[in-house]
Amino acid sequence: MSRRVIVRVGLGAVIVVLFVLAILRASPEEAARRRCIQEGWVERDLVGKRVYWTKGPFLRRGEVEFSTRTKKIFVELKQTAFFLDWQVTDYREEPGG
């Protein structure tokens, strides 16, 4: 086989692996829900109100809003590349529900 074929097959395999990783990653809402659970909230008490994130392959940002009986919870996230996990950058609670 020629080097060109080997390089193309190798690059194709890398691209396929990256897209599979992107599909298997948690959504911003799932990542935000995990953070709320770490803060002591019970999952069944969290009602998703709003989910927003920017499009694109790199440096995506998102915000998820949950409400409970007593509070509103806002979680801001970032994802540096489409195949990496979402990272929480801010967590805040406000009165209301």
Span 72-88, pLDDT tens digits: 999 999 999 888 889 99
Residues 6+ away with beta carbon under 8 Å from 6: none
CA separation for the pair 8, 33 (Å, rounded): 40
pLDDT band of 97, cuts 50, 70, 90: low
Q: pTM (2 decimals)?
A: 0.77
User: Would you say domain 26-95 falls under CATH 3.30.360?
Assistant: no
CA separation for the pair 28, 49 (Å, rounded): 13
Per-residue pLDDT, 53 = 87
Mean pLDDT of the chain: 89
CA atoms 23, 25, 31, 37: torsion sign: positive
User: DSSP strand E in 1-97: where?
Assistant: 47-53, 58-67, 71-81, 87-95
